[in-house]
Structure 1
């Protein structure tokens, strides 16, 4: 999976020849190492909008980029609602990039703050585990010492 500038939220739309490229659900699934079911789920959630020809789904470059952004957003801990919001901002207006990027920065700041809280919670739990472990070890040592004194 190559990251090209055209897949970034910082870039302009793909070139006209690349926009004409189409994909089957199987091709996208192999390209991104996900199941067709995952792709259908993202379609159901409104993140992908393939063309329909009977029962066949035809995915365009826009869908490929949206899937890539969706998977990247999930790896970063974004909710589907947050991913949808960022994608819709980008699609909504010609100057969507600035609004999209501002919102993306807000979401990233929220994620970072959440992670800091989680890290502090983990550190606190580690200290509590260390304390319980030390007390258990002390009680066990006392029991063993009392047993050997008899």
Structure 2
């Protein structure tokens, strides 16, 4: 039997990195949008020469930022929540803050829905009047 080769101790696999172009393509946004989020403090990429190098942490923060935008959150609210995501503390404060922000946005959206319903009812009345005037002419 041949002697066993010694296997070097397992080392941590290097984490993947992403370019601005890769993230822009993955999330269907422009590199300029990513740079804007960086300027707002939502992303903190490393540098390799003049190029930005984004970590899995940056990718997750970008994903959370875009999700927050879809929910109608302001960038400052998103930053607050994403910063809490990074903390090592319990998730309970983050979840409470998120629930409070969502409740506020739900209230705003319900008000907007009510306003839209009222406006649509007014439009229907105007349309009905116009049709009646046209049929009488």
- TM-score where L is the length of structure 2: 0.84
Q: Counterpart of 2:126?
A: 132
Question: 2-side partners of 1:94 and 1:86: how far apart?
Answer: 13
* Alignment-derived partner of residue 95 in structure 1: 89
TM-score by length of 1: 0.77
**Conserved 8 A contact 1:48-1:66:** yes
Greater RCO, CA 8 A, separation 6+:
1
Distance in 2 separating the partners of 1:50 and 1:125: 46
Check if 1:39 corresponds to 2:34. yes
Structure 2 residue aligned with 1:60: 55
Which of 20, 28, 31 is residue 23 of structure 2 equivalent to?
28
- Partners in 1 of 2:13 and 2:96 — Cα distance? 30
Q: Report which of the two has the higher share of helix.
A: 1
CA distance 1:17–1:76, change in 2 (3 Å):
farther
Q: Following TM superposition, where does structure 1 have runs of at least 4 consecutive aligned residues deviating by more than 4 angstroms?
A: none
- Aligned partners of 1:135 and 1:32: how far apart in 2? 47
8 A Cα contact 1:25 1:58, kept in partner: yes
SS in 1 for 2:54: strand
Q: Which residue of 1 aligns with 2:7?
A: none
Contact 1:28–1:64 (CA under 8 A) maintained in structure 2: yes
Pair 1:109-2:103 in alignment: yes
RMSD: 1.6
- 8 Å Cα contact 1:22-1:61 kept in structure 2: yes
Please list every run of 5 or more consecutive structure 2 residues that lacks an aligned counterpart in the other structure.
Answer: 1-11
